[in-house]
Structure 1
């Protein structure tokens, strides 16, 4: 049954059950996260609901271990990976992607008092990243750009900020959208520095799914195109980012 889930087209089942399951890390602001009152919210939450509203399908959001997202997908525990999920060549080997809907890049966050102003200055320092993240994949292939003495992997990004503040690590490599949103909501925002690097290419957020789900892919792409055309995608960008700089397709 699990092997069939990898190759079969499950759209008719989803349409019949009027239900689809999205896997996410519920601490990834602003894409999908739990507010203090316990409500799940975020850019991708809004977008997934808008996409499947067009088909009369309810979206169930399931928190997963992000490092196991592809395994959860192939096992049939979830139907989609939709949570600031960047397209990479490594992920393409296991997962099919929708058309991209948001631009992103990897940035380095440090404390200003550390004096670090460039990627190169992480040499001899300890770098934090999320397990299974685009940052981890990029770092493994680009250590000449940012070569730390050691690395620490975290299940969730907020834990890396605890260690950064305590001085246990000196930098965090993470998604720009996360860094900008997270820091903007901190009282001590000015104590941090966000560092970009010209050798870090832009990456693109998209929806991940099983390769057999070709109808699902077409349906998502069609809905994304419609939401782009009618302006709803642009409104979501403005709601969550306050500007339209990351919007694709204008």
Structure 2
């Protein structure tokens, strides 16, 4: 029996040691430039909200589609790297990146000062703005009309962060001085359609696409939210400097070859590339 206990203790010590080594290796990987690993494995994991049309979403056939899906796949095809798309809870995106379960956040991810403290951003590839969507018969024609009205927003979205950071614009006047938070914009739109909220704070690019697809544009009014929430870029771990450099180079190469514009025309019927992508360097 004593011999068995010694064996068990020895095995426990070995197992604990292996776990510590694995954790140390994981920490080392997270804190180092991983470009060579991505090239060697020919794979990279990108986290995205699979309901955020038209940037990245799951279609009726269960396929991951969207502007960001096409753009990311095209960028990494330049380097012989395949993208593994991982649906994530948007409010957990930075934690997923830090934990190493994903390598990038790429799905209409807006640049903000707060996020700059947590991630390394690529060049901005698309400009956007926050808008307020209301029904045309709601009587809401300007921001001041939102007094005591119920507003909705996606949890942990750049729009909600801007809403909190600039309380004088909307937060101080809406009902309960806060927004009803949703996991996805799709859920929020359903509540707007059914009058459970009076307005929805949302990215303009999402609102335009969603309403057009539903053939509902004529029934809603879009107001500028007067909030600076940041334009779209790709988020990486701070250590992945080479990865971000390669993404930026990929953007410019795709634009020079016309592939970026082709993807943009497919989803938006116009060239949506930000000025940084169009610049010749």
Cα RMSD over matched residues? 1.3
SS at match of 1:102: coil
The 5-angstrom pairing of residues 83-232 of structure 1 reads: 83-147=107-171, 148-150=174-176, 151-197=179-225, 199-201=226-228, 203-232=230-259
Contact 2:46 2:106 in 1 (8 A): yes
Relative to the length of structure 2, the TM-score reads 0.85
Which digits, 9 at most, give the CA deviation of each residue in 1:183-237, with x for residues without a partner? 111133311111114x334731110000001111111111111112222112222
The 5-angstrom pairing of residues 43-62 of structure 1 reads: 43-62=67-86
How far is 1:118 from its partner? 1.3
- Worse-matched range after superposition: 95-104 or 185-194: 185-194
Matched residues in 2 for 1:178 and 1:168: separation? 20
Which digits, 9 at most, give the CA deviation of each residue in 1:9-56, with x for residues without a partner? 111111111000000000000000111111110000000000000100
CA change 1:69–1:84 in 2 (3 A) is same
Q: Which has the higher strand share?
A: 1
Contact 1:103 1:202 in 2 (8 A): no
Contact 1:62 1:78 in 2 (8 A): yes
Contact 1:109 1:193 in 2 (8 A): yes
The 5-angstrom pairing of residues 13-92 of structure 1 reads: 13-92=37-116
SS at match of 2:273: coil
Alignment gaps of 5+ in structure 2: 1-22
Matched residues in 1 for 2:66 and 2:169: separation? 32
SS at match of 2:245: helix
* Equivalent of residue 235 in structure 1, options 262, 265, 269: 262
How many pairs does the alignment contain?
Answer: 248
Contact 1:5 1:74 in 2 (8 A): no
